Amino acid sequence: MRRLALAVLLVAARGPSTANSDSDATTGHDPTTMAGTSGDSPTPTPSTTPESTTPTTSGTTASGPPSRCGPPCEHTWEYDSFLIPGMVESHFRCLTRVRGDLTIPGNTDPAIVATLANLTRVDGRLRIWGTDIPDLSTLACLREVGEIELIDLPHVADLSPLSGLRRAPSIRLRNLGIAALPTFAADFAGIERLELANNSSLTDISELAVWGLAGDTLALELHRIPQFTDLGPLAALPLVDAARVDVSLFDLPVSIRSPRSAPSRPGRSSSPRCRS
């Protein structure tokens, strides 16, 4: 009787035997983690998942509308943080917006830069410096930037690819090959700050009068521009309505011609505050 009771206890402890449990014991799989294994699992394996044309880089927003500018894209996408293309292992085809800063340093592969051809907006600062890109044609779709800095690009003499810009309140151009300021879109919103430095071929800033002011302040810095001799375009700016105008002139030709002062309104001064 003792042997019979012991056998009954052993059967109760082990429980009923099933085919699935025998299979699990044989294969060594945990039945709660069967996704992606062979058999009748409904979960698709990576090899059966359709390939996405949108980069899977973290910080992206995918499945946007079709592209309106640049190479055709069925779906566009946005980058939700600051971006340095040379440090991200991904292509940027169909990228239309960067919600932070976009920095393109000197060691960036021009082939990577070329994939930015759909870019229309940079919420923060667009900074390009010392790169080997031959021109700015990749940025022809750009319409809005919080700030733009082009630095140490002496081979870049043509800024016409930026002609579609509608908003760029702060502009810094250093050591470029340009002879004149670029023309922007007809509805360009104006500037608040302009810095021009070490541009050895620059002679014409007349486009500044067309840009206009974005608000009631203007900070203008002109440094080390040996061919520049005429401040006349400043006279066409609505400086009378500006609450503050700061102009910094440094290492310019002695023969530079100052702008004619516009008539001032009562209680306001039309003369800019100059630093040299």
For tokens 């996405």, what's the residue? 52
CA end-to-end distance (rounded Å), the chain? 112
- What residue type is assigned to position 163 of the chain? S
Amino acid residing at 219: A
Instruction: Assess contact for 275 and 246: CB atoms under 8 A.
Output: yes
pLDDT of residue 64: 80
Instruction: Give strand ranges (E) for 130-216.
Output: 144-153, 170-176, 193-197
* CA distance linking residue 204 with residue 227, whole number of Å: 9
Can you give the pLDDT of all 276 residues of the chain as single tens digits?
A: 444 343 333 334 444 444 444 444 333 434 333 333 334 444 433 333 333 444 544 456 666 889 899 999 999 999 999 999 978 766 899 999 999 999 999 988 899 999 999 999 999 999 999 988 889 999 999 999 999 999 999 999 999 999 999 999 999 999 999 999 999 999 999 999 999 999 999 999 999 999 999 988 999 999 999 998 888 888 888 776 677 889 899 898 866 666 665 444 443 334 445 555
Helix-, strand-, coil-residue percentages of the chain, each rounded to 5: 20, 25, 55
CB-based burial label for 114 (10 Å; 0-12, 13-18, 19+)? middle
CB contact burial 24-33 (16+ within 10 A = b; e otherwise)? eeeeeeeeee
β-strands 217-223, 193-197 pairing: parallel
Return the sign of the alpha-carbon dihedral for residues 23, 27, 28, 33: negative
User: Considering Cα of 182, then 171, then 83, then 77, what sign does the dihedral take?
Assistant: negative
Structure confidence at residue 60 (pLDDT): 61
